[in-house]
Structure 1
Amino acid sequence: MNLLRGKLMPPLLAIVFSALLCSVALVISGSNPGTALSAMVSQVGHGTTAVDIVNSASVYYLAGLAVAIGFKMNLFNIGVEGQFRVAAVTAAVVGGALRLPPVLDAIVILLVAVLTGALYAAIPAVLKVTRGVNEVISTIMLNAIAMGIVAYMIRPDVFGVLHGNNISTAEIPTAGQVPGISFGSGGTVFGLVILAAAIGVGYWVMMNRSRFGFELRASGESPTAATAGGVNAKKMVLTAMLLSGGIAGLVAMPELLGRDHSYGIISPAGYGFTGIAVALLGRNHPGGVAFGALLWAFLDKSALALDNVGVPKEIVTIMQGTIVLSVVVAYEIVRRVELAAEQRRVGRELGNTGGTPPQPAVASAGGES
């Protein structure tokens, strides 16, 4: 019963609530909710849509994991957007200049992306632990600076190369590219989808099966208590931000090494902000974040399908917003219901024991936290 209420009920409530809100928005716009839903579902089996959804989801998943690590530490790393863009352009510049054997070339590019993202995240981390600067403010400012860094690095007189009307970094040679998994006319899945999945598994193991993960979660829930228990809270803040930035550095890699092979001024942006929504949808759990990434990618691809049946494609943005809102509301409702149930249970036990509070059970060191 507790599993049903605590784990399954919130997402079910969120789905029902968001479906109702989206249906109302469709009716107001003069569209038929049934027609819209049918168009959205049927599009998955056409052309390369299914593969496109998986490819986009892999990018959103990495962004969501980067944000989730910060959330676990009670940090709001809004700077994933800037971290991934600086890492992408740096890795593209290095990749375009490298001439290493296959596989090794790609590994070096990935390492450069991770290190660059971590170093860019280190700036707000150091400011927070040494000066107490709020990471929200510092990362927002660094996002703006990142745009300037990208624009500077791809100038023709710096590292940029003019391709028609587009300016981008030099193309990464074949040795540095990561081949995908071809499904013929269905499209090609990015090869780094496997890396994204592996990082998700590693994230779960780190958070749930390691002392470091326990200390990180403890520091996020109560820095004072964690410090009293021998955990260096400031060190955990710094480590969490570096890990978040390192994963953020990989966000653009599936597209860069699997499709684009260069980074330019018109390269996709906004993934960092999408990662915030995806992490919220997944409640910072790697499985939930994966579901949120797939759902977000599915809705993104639905815009064209809706437009084809006369439904305003802007309705997708409304859907995405209502889903995030629904998840937040649903989990808050369930939290309050669980709190009220716990209070009633304690009240009954106090009544049964004549007013003596029940003795708490001693949890084993290896128990679930």
Structure 2
Amino acid sequence: MKRFDKERLLLGFAGPALALLVAILLSAVVLLASGKNPIEPFRLMIDYAQNVDIQVLIINQWGTYYLAALAVAIGFRMNLFNIGVDGQYRFAAMVSALVGAKIALPGPLHIFVIVITAMFVGAFWAGIAGILKTTRGVSEVVSTIMLNSIATGLIAWLTLPAQFGVQPEGSNNLTTGMIPESGWFPGLKVNDLAGDIYGFVFVAAGLGIVYWFVLNRTRFGFDLRATGASESAAAASGVDAKRMVLTSMLISGAVAGLAGMPVLLGETHTYSQSFPVGVGFTGITIALLGRNNPVGIALAALLIAFLDKASTALDYEGYPKEIATIMQGLIVISVVVSYETVRRYGLRRQQSRVGEELAAAAKNNREEVSV
């Protein structure tokens, strides 16, 4: 491997590693400031995560986070900031749960219809922002934030008993009705205590491979990365930048729609007011930490899932569970700072190397002239 490739690889790892280290140090400072042991919470979480049932929870959470982060990363590759993943994910989960509860089909076909519905709804919701950007120049940041709020209102209205919702007897919770067992995605049973690993987790892992292949080994992936780097340069090479923007938003939304499938098809089998929220925003953190790389995103999703599930142990020992939430916020800040630090260092290294090569070339020219 060439020296340049080695340096680029090291710099690629340096950003996330530095961000994580800074986040841990800042979290320790927060603990010290509150009069707590700065090391004990991390040890408690690591010990707690050694339980098999907690490991299953972490893996299941990983599947949801990984899909949400992939959806965000697709937008990032196009230089698009799809903040609407959370709304796309929730709206798609609600509509697909509603469809799944209303139809009766054989097992595999039932699951297929639910999954396709989720992808279509997610793509449709993200496509609104894509159309607004390509036809009216509306920033996807503004439009997707607004669409998140609209999705919340639509979900609340559609799940009313007067519309399509179902209110279980003796409960104040509103649901879309229970999906028949033919629409449940089979999981991997660990044991009676730990429960099952969602089957859709393995689908999420497969989508990571598809993401890498399409992005790095296909013409579409090249066009997407080229347009994200420079729309004018991509247009000069014959790429329709507006079409790529809309296509990327549609694909990002479709993947966001899948983010609700691990929980919906593997556990709840219905959409209700207790369905997880904020997943899309967590996906932004994970995509940033993973630098839009499928392997990096996988590791970042595992870290965040670990912080979510293992932090329960802190309550038992008198530590505030919010430490994990603080650490996640610090990771976001640290990512921005550390990546910029590493980028500037890499730029200085590159300039220094170019200067050395130019000096060496000038020296060789002088020696040839003197001869």
Fold-level similarity (TM above 0.5):
yes
Aligned to 1:364: none
- Residue 22 of structure 2 is aligned to residue 17 of structure 1: yes
- Residue of structure 1 equivalent to 2:324: 316
Q: Deviations over 1:298-341 (max 9, x none)?
A: 11113321121121111111111112222222221111111111
From 25, 34, 46, give the equivalent of 1:29: 34
Matched, 1:56 2:61: yes
Residue 58 of structure 2 aligns to which amino acid in structure 1? I
Moved more, 315-324 or 121-130: 315-324
Aligned residues with identical type, % of pairs: 51
> Separation in 2 of the partners of 1:291 and 1:208?
20
Q: Distance in 2 between matches of 1:268 and 1:12?
A: 29
Q: Which residue in the other structure is 2:204 paired with? A: 196
- Deviation above 4 Å: which 4+ runs of structure 1? none
What residue in structure 2 maps to residue 176 of structure 1? 183
User: Does the aligned pair in 1 maintain the 2:54–2:310 contact within 8 Å?
Assistant: no
1:265-280 matches, within 5 Å, as 265-280=273-288
Which of 132, 156, 161 is the matching residue for 1:151?
A: 156
Structure 2 SS opposite 1:183: strand
Alpha-carbon distance in 1 for matches of 2:42, 2:219: 45
Q: CA deviation at 1:47?
A: 5.3
Assess if the C-alpha contact under 8 Å between 1:350 and 1:356 holds in 2: no
Residue 136 (structure 2) pairs with residue 131 (structure 1): yes
Conserved in 2, the CA contact under 8 Å of 1:181 and 1:190? yes
After superposition, the CA RMSD in angstroms is: 1.5
The one-character-per-residue Cα deviations of 1:137-188 (angstroms, maximum 9, x if unpaired) are 0111110000111011111011111112211011100001112111112221
Q: Give the corresponding residue for 1:73.
A: 78
* Aligned counterpart, 2:311: 303
CA distance, structure 1, for counterparts of residue 9 and residue 280 of structure 2: 32
Specify which of 121, 126, 144 is matched with residue 121 of structure 1: 126
Match of 1:45, SS state, is coil
Name the count of aligned residue pairs: 357
Quick one: structure 1 residues 177 and 355, their matched pair in 2 at CA, closer, same or farther if it must change by over 3 Å? same
- Please, which of 330, 335, 343 is the counterpart of residue 343 of structure 2? 335
Structure 2 residue aligned with 1:85: 90
Tell me if structure 2 keeps the 8 A contact 1:73–1:219.
yes
Q: Which residue of 2 aligns with 1:346?
A: 354
The answer to whether the 8 Å contact 2:20/2:331 transfers is yes
The answer on whether the counterparts of 1:5 and 1:334 sit within 8 Å (CA) in structure 2 is no
CA distance in 2, matches of 1:231, 1:16: 41
Q: How far, CA to CA, are the matches of 2:364 and 2:17 in structure 1?
A: 38
Distance 1:11 1:158 in 2: 47
What is the CA distance between 1:353 and its match in structure 2? 2.7
**Letter of the 1:268 counterpart:** P
Match of 1:243 among 236, 243, 251: 251
Could you list the per-position Cα deviations for residues 242-265 of structure 1 after superposition, in whole angstroms to 9, with x for gaps in the alignment?
A: 000000111111111111011112
TM-score of the pair, normalised by structure 1: 0.94
SS of aligned partner of 2:167: strand
